[in-house]
Amino acid sequence: MGRNKNYIGYKAYEYLTPGIDYRAFNLRKAIKKEWAYSVPLSKTEEERVEEILEKNIVIDLHEHPTMMPENASESSALSREGREYLAYEALSKSGLDAVFDNLMNGSCNITSKHGWKWSDTIHDLGQRLCDIAHQDFVIHCKSVNDILTAFETGKLAWIAVLESVSSIENEVDRLDILYGLGIRSMGLNYSESNMLGSGLGEIRDGGLTDFGYDCIIRMNKLGVLIDLSHLSDLTALDAIESSKKSVIVSHAGVRALNPIARMFPDEVIQALAESGGLIGIEAAPGYTATKDDPIPSIETYMNHLEYCIDLVGIDSVGCGPDSFYGDHVGLYRLEDEELKVGGFGHYTRPGRRGDGLVVSTLPDYVKGMENPTECLQNITRWMVKHGYSDSDIAKIIGRNALNLLEKVW
């Protein structure tokens, strides 16, 4: 049923009374009209896009499919409330059959300034599961069969993901608890080093720790998809070598096109593909720009995607845009200003790499890749416009991801 979604109008937390049961925020309308963009096509091409999206399972490997405040400065206050707002209506129009929702535990600061705390992680997940339990459009996805069911019945398979397992501290059994609560993909860290290994911003790359190795073995046994997106190069290579199951880079790009630490070198991408893994291409503002075109857009995004196709083959590439419904660039600017003003306990260490993002150079939005409703549809449109076959498009927008999940889950 691909495009024909059985959505009947449910809004996040509508079983509660805003302003009484919880603090209400003025949320951004899911799609800002003046930022909306569709790759222009002929009538014949339009019909072909619709047919592709109707017949094929579409899987977004990395998103934050929630509505953010109209005023980006209220984002931290919303996070402190511990209640994220899944954008049901906008997702029903996205063409997606499955979405990997990376819960905002890095900014879930109910009890801390820095996020990634165990109690906050469980709170965040529990609130979302409670909301999902009160509606019948989204399926809490725990298996490949749930994705197939969503596709066949006009539902959306929602995959709960942690971008980092920093909250497990040194307790490997907490991975079992997270799996039991329905988490099906986990990142080893989020740019900063933790007990499992080095993050991408460190001066020296220490690779995977012994505890990190233990966690990979446990995640393999559980059937958790391991995400390498925010790791250092050596930690990523160690994880690929250590895992007996295929792993994923859910959202990144190519360092050869954008020479920043957040992107991966060819060596890592090739090792990932050789192990049966998959790279999902990132679209967050600034990251998948290129040296030749510093303004991120659907065009620069596809430059990274095509580079990976040429490097490792089309069967090892997918889509992980990393967008949300709100002012993404505004949030980066707010975080950049807060770091400059308050520091939050961080100091600029000489020689530290960071992720390489220069906030001052960003445009207001990413043309064609601004939110989860636009992203996979525009990727499909772009590939139709540029002569890709239906079978190759199907691989990029979902088939490759499904093949990987069948092996790991």
CATH number of 253's domain: 3.20.20.140
pLDDT band at 109 (very low <50, low <70, confident <90, very high): confident
For range 318-328, the mean pLDDT? 96
Q: Given a cut of 80, is residue 183 above it in pLDDT?
A: yes
The pLDDT value recorded for residue 348 is 77
Instruction: Kindly state whether residue 76 falls inside one of the protein's structural domains.
Output: yes
- CA 375, CA 58: separation in Å to the nearest integer? 11
Tokens 């996040």, residue? 12
Is 13 part of a structural domain of the chain?
no
Is pLDDT at 317 greater than 90 in this prediction? yes
Determine contact, residues 129/93, Cβ cutoff 8 Å.
Answer: no
Which residue from 39, 114, 46 is spatially nearest to 80, judged by alpha carbons? 114
| Residues 262 and 255: beta-carbon distance below 8 Å | no
Confidence of residue 339 (pLDDT cuts 50, 70, 90): low
- Is 233 part of a structural domain of the chain? yes
Give residue 374's domain range.
Answer: 33-408
Does residue 3 sit within a domain?
A: no
Burial of 123 (0-12, 13-18, 19+ CB in 10 A): middle
Tally the domains of the chain.
1
How many other CB atoms sit within 10 Å of the CB of residue 38?
13
Statement: residue 1 has pLDDT above 60? no
**393 pLDDT more than 60:** yes
User: Would you say residue 44 has pLDDT above 60?
Assistant: yes
Ranking 62-71, 190-199, 222-231, 347-356 by mean pLDDT, the lowest is 347-356
Cβ–Cβ < 8 Å for 63, 99: yes
Helices 298-312, 266-274: axis angle to 10 degrees equals 60
- Cα distance between residue 316 and residue 273, in whole Å: 6
Binned at pLDDT 50, 70 and 90, residue 352 comes out as confident
Examine residue 278 and state whether it is found in any structural domain, yes or no: yes
Mean per-residue pLDDT of the chain: 94
Angle subtended at Cα 92 by Cα 91 and Cα 95, rounded to the nearest 5 degrees: 85
Which is it for strands 278-281 and 317-319: parallel, antiparallel or unpaired? parallel
So what's the pLDDT on residue 340?
63
